[in-house]
């Protein structure tokens, strides 16, 4: 019984000693200064005095540099930004068809494909009209589309004004002849001079009414006025518009025919607003037509029109194509390709860039199945390539196939790109 009591007392003393030791350590820590740093930190930190009571002076720049040098781990940790990574094992990459392509600097070309239509060359068109009132008595060209040569008669016009002017010319011519019969030399010379001046004025008036020199000679030789004025074609070409009708009354300046020379034609093409800055006068273009399968025409841009269409947001450009055989007909549709050299640029395949609408993202292959999502800035888009202006360096590999599956995996894991500003 005594032995049992002794064991209980000894156990109680041991427990009491442990409790006293535990609480003694806590009390000691609670009464120690709260801001006192450990001994290891005191070796690397300057002593600080009480504010406002003449404590230690502020640390000098040299001391601050020494302090920073004494804490390399903290500085490295502050400057290091964790790069987001999405891991796709190699075997899984093969299953989903991942392919990578290195970004490279190369000569880039942009091909603008558009449609055009053939139009008349406005510089080769002519309008036929009259300068006097009259009536059409005879039509030599009586349908639209007929080919006429320069100088070929188109119509014959009866004009009372023209007949009166011819009669005035004949009367003046008679006056000149009669002046020669006057015996008084001085009077004859005076009458002859006046008559010659009036005769020249009459000739000039006939010429202004489109009477040719040959016709004037004929009028003078026959002594009779020409009843009708023959209207001739000013150019060789096709009659594209015929307003003149048999017996129709015409007024001065009224259009009778439009004649177009189709030995050269225009091609008018539409260029979208976002491509307009790349198009310049003098650039070469290739023109193709469904009318001539496999045949191409070479041309150059002659003019870029200054206005933009509000409905289609396109501007018109003009090309000229020779049409010696007359095979190219106005209002035909054409396919136009303009190949533009853009110089050396950093490019990746177009499929490598995921466009979210707000930003463009590529997945950079970091090796060992790791891909880094990175935001980039894109420039000009080529055929199968796109220019990268920011966020990528030459030689870095990016996923160019199955990158949408990589992007889905990244979104499931909550991995987002840091942005292009971290990869300048």
pLDDT at 63 over 80: no
In this predicted structure, which of 7-11, 101-105, 296-300 has the lowest mean pLDDT? 7-11
Q: What is the reported pLDDT for 32?
A: 44
List Cα–Cα distances, 197 to 162, 183, 190, 202, in angstroms: 20, 21, 11, 9
Q: What is the reported pLDDT for 424?
A: 44
Top-confidence residue, 76 or 179: 179
pLDDT digits (tens, 9 = 90+) for 174-210: 777 665 555 556 655 666 666 777 888 888 888 888 8
In this predicted structure, which of 97-106, 188-197, 220-229, 271-280 has the lowest mean pLDDT? 188-197
Between CA 302 and CA 269 the distance in angstroms is 12
Q: Assign 20 a pLDDT band (cuts: 50, 70, 90).
A: low
Q: Look up residue 352 and give its two tokens.
A: 């490598």
Between CA 164 and CA 186 the distance in angstroms is 32
* 282-290 mean pLDDT: 93
Q: By CB neighbour count within 10 A (0-12 exposed, 13-18 middle, 19+ buried), where does 248 fall?
A: middle
Top-confidence residue, 344 or 18: 344
Dihedral in degrees, nearest 10, Cα atoms 270, 276, 280, 282: -20
- Over the chain, what HEC string results? CHHHHHHHHHHHHHHHHHHHHHHHHHHHHHHCCCCCCCHHHHCCCCCCCCCCCCCCCCCCHHHHHHHHHCCHHHHHHHHCCCCCCEECCHHHHHHHCCEEEECEEEEEEEEEEEEEEEEECHHHEEEEECCCCEEEEEECCCCCCCEECCCCEEEEEECHHHHHHHHHHHHHHHHHHHHCCCCCHHHHHHHHHHHHHHHHHHHHHHHHCCCCHHHHHHHHHHCCCCCEEEEECCCCEEEEEECCCCCCEECCCCEEEEEECCCEEEEEEEEEHHHHHHCCCCCEEEEEECCEEEEEEEEEEEEEEEEECCCCCEEEEEEEEECCCCCCCCCCEEEEEEEEEEEEEEEEEHHHCEECCCCEEEEEEEECCEEEEEEEEEEEECCCEEEEEECCCCCCEEEEECHHHHHHHHHHCCCCCCCHHHCC
For helices 213-222 and 185-208, angle between their N-to-C axes, nearest 10 degrees: 130
Q: What is the reported pLDDT for 58?
A: 44
pLDDT at 307 over 50: yes
Q: What is the CATH number of domain 86-107+344-422?
A: 2.40.420.20
Q: Assign 240 a pLDDT band (cuts: 50, 70, 90).
A: very high
In 3D, which of 274, 276, 273, 317 has the Cα closest to residue 299?
317
Top-confidence residue, 87 or 175: 87
Q: What is the reported pLDDT for 219?
A: 87
Asked if residue 86 lies in contact with residue 406, where contact means CB atoms within 8 angstroms, the answer is yes
pLDDT at 315 over 50: yes
Between CA 178 and CA 172 the distance in angstroms is 10
pLDDT digits (tens, 9 = 90+) for 32-58: 444 444 333 333 444 333 344 444 444
**Of all residues in the chain, what percent carry a pLDDT higher than 90?**
45
Q: What is the reported pLDDT for 175?
A: 74
pLDDT at 354 over 60: yes
Q: Assign 14 a pLDDT band (cuts: 50, 70, 90).
A: confident
Is 114-121+262-342 in CATH node 2.40.30.170? yes
Q: What is the reported pLDDT for 192?
A: 65
* 236-257 mean pLDDT: 94
List Cα–Cα distances, 315 to 204, 274, 303, 307, 395, in angstroms: 48, 10, 11, 6, 39
Q: Which CATH class is domain 126-260?
A: mainly beta
Residue-range domain boundaries for the chain: 2-41, 86-107+344-422, 114-121+262-342, 126-260
Q: What is the reported pLDDT for 324?
A: 85
């Amino acid at each position: 019984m005594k032995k049992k009591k002794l064991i209980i007392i000894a156990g109680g003393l041991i427990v009491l000693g442990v409790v006293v030791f535990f609480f003694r350590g806590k009390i000691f820590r609670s009464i120690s200064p709260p801001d006192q740093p450990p001994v290891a930190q005191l070796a690397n930190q300057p002593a600080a005095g009480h504010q406002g009571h003449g404590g230690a002076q502020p640390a000098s720049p040299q001391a601050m540099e020494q302090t920073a040098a004494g804490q390399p781990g903290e500085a490295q940790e502050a400057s290091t930004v964790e790069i987001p990574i999405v891991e796709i094992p190699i075997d899984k990459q093969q299953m989903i068809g991942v392919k990578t392509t290195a970004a490279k600097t190369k000569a880039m070309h942009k091909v603008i494909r558009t449609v055009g239509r053939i139009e008349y060359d406005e510089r080769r068109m002519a309008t036929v009209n009259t300068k006097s009132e009259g009536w059409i008595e005879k039509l030599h060209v009586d349908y639209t589309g007929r080919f006429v040569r320069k100088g070929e008669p188109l119509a014959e016009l009866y004009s009372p004004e023209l007949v009166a002017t011819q009669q005035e010319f004949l009367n003046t011519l008679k006056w000149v002849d009669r002046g020669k019969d006057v015996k008084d030399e001085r009077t004859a010379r005076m009458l002859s001079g006046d008559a010659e001046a009036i005769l020249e004025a009459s000739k000039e008036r006939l010429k202004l009414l489109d009477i040719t020199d040959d016709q004037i000679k004929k009028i003078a030789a026959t002594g009779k006025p020409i009843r009708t004025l023959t209207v001739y074609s000013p150019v060789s070409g096709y009659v594209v518009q015929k307003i003149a009708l048999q017996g129709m009354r015409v007024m001065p300046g009224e259009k009778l025919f439009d004649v177009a020379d189709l030995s050269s034609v225009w091609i008018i093409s539409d260029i979208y607003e976002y491509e307009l800055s790349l198009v310049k006068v003098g650039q070469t273009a290739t023109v193709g037509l469904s009318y001539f399968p496999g045949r191409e025409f070479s041309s150059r841009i002659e003019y870029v029109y200054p206005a933009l269409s509000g409905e289609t947001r396109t501007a018109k450009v003009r090309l000229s194509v020779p049409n010696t055989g007359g095979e190219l007909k106005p209002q035909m549709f054409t396919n136009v390709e303009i190949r533009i050299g853009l110089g050396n640029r950093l490019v990746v395949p177009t499929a490598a860039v995921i466009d979210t609408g707000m930003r463009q993202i590529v997945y950079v292959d970091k090796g060992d199945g790791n891909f880094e999502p990175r935001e980039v800035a894109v420039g000009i888009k080529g055929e199968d390539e796109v220019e990268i202006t920011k966020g990528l360096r030459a030689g870095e590999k990016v996923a160019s196939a199955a990158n949408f599956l990589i992007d889905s995996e990244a979104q499931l894991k909550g991995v987002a790109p840091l942005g292009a500003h971290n990869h300048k």
